[in-house]
Amino acid sequence: MKIIIEFLKRGIAAKLLALLFSTTGLYILLGLFVTLIIVGAVSNINNHNSNWDDSNMSPINISPEVERYRSKVEEEAFKNDIPEAVDILLAIMMQESGGRVPDVMQASESQGLPPNSITDPYLSIEIGVAYFAIGFKHAREKASKNANETALQGYNYGFGFISWSIGHEGGWTHDNAIEFARIKSNGTKRENGQWRYGDQNYVQNVMRYLVANDGSNGGGIEPLPGGHATIEKAIAEGSKYIGRSTYVFGGGRNQRDIDRGYFDCSSFIHYAFKMAGLTLGNLTSVTTDTLVKMGKKVSVSEVKRGDLVFFDTYKINGHVGIYLGNGRFLNCQSNGGVRVASMQSGYWADTFNGVIVRVTE
């Protein structure tokens, strides 16, 4: 990405020099600079009211209206000691409001208020994240299975479901979500056949936003042209672990670790592609050093969705992820486990070394 940016800078510089040597170049440049000053001033005004960055669109199925609140959700998740749940919280927001009403987390009712009483989206996020964190921590501590799902259904049904489902079956199942609704509705149904209590498919409705964006669910970006079935399957399978995984150096090399969501960066890549039907060497011995030799090297200018991108972290090619497009990649990292990250700025931009490997056409 840094190489591409440098080329762009050089191209712009060459055009400016050409303008300077033309008869009208000086006037054009003066007009350009004035325009840039005005645009910059307007941008500063807009940025004062919004933290949205058009380059930060999500490659999972999160709309721009929801993605714009990511930094606030990250802030509140950190305050409530659940930084690993950021993408889950954004998926909740997607289901609850799509970011289209002020009470983006639909948190009013958790405060005993009528729906949509909260008119400040940032207050809605503060209340909604704090509310979810209580159930999320309880489910993580007490549930013997499906802790994330248990917490999610609890956000819709209330905390009573969390304790009830853990006491009955160790945690959420779709069947006990339906049974809880039957009990709470006193056996009355809606016209669509569901029990008249909450959303019995809430977990499934939220989870659909935690898979790689294929453009079908109102997500922020479209997949790059020419997407390969193996690549899309690998990305979809890997994305299932977003918000429900833990980075463990050396982990992910046996079924027990995989079932628990324990991976390091290279075992995660191996798992995702293996689920898509492509085996990248021996699971027990896979490392970034073996993966970098698996396919063919391509240049930064040729990078495509599904390519493996490498970073110089604790060593040369010490970290690897799956490129998604628009400068974003899917990886398992020490901060938060499996997640989508940007390689356009910050740590990953600084450590990206330009090494790209294409394992399938």
Nearest to 339 by CA among 86, 75, 79, 64: 86
Chain centre to alpha carbon of residue 294: 27
Residues 6+ apart with CB under 8 A from 266: 286, 287, 288, 290, 291, 320
Contact 126, 104 (CB under 8 A): no
Given 80, 146, 156, 265, the catalytic residue: 265
The verdict on whether 332 is a catalytic residue reads no
Look at the block and give the residue holding tokens 């490392």.
Answer: 287
Find the DSSP H helices in the chain.
2-20, 25-49, 64-67, 70-79, 86-96, 121-142, 147-157, 159-169, 174-184, 202-207, 229-239, 255-260, 265-275, 288-291, 346-351
**How is the beta sheet containing 337-342 ordered, strand by strand?**
296-298, 352-358, 308-311, 319-325, 328-333, 337-342
What are the backbone angles phi and psi of residue 180, rounded to the nearest 5°?
-60, -45
**Whole-angstrom distance, CA of residue 140 vs CA of residue 57:** 30
Given 213, 317, 331, 332, the catalytic residue: 331
Q: Which helix (H) or strand (E) holds 253?
A: none
224 DSSP assignment: P
Given 146, 156, 319, 332, the catalytic residue: 319
Angle subtended at Cα 81 by Cα 77 and Cα 84, rounded to the nearest 5 degrees: 65
Report in angstroms the alpha-carbon separations of 59 from 72, 156, 179, 208, 239: 19, 26, 35, 13, 10
The verdict on whether 331 is a catalytic residue reads yes
- Helix or strand or coil: residue 63? coil
β-partners of residue 322 are 308, 330
Contact 259, 244 (CB under 8 A): no
What are the backbone angles phi and psi of residue 348, rounded to the nearest 5°?
-70, -30
The verdict on whether 319 is a catalytic residue reads yes
Nearest to 284 by CA among 301, 296, 266: 266
Q: Which residues are catalytic?
A: 265, 319, 331
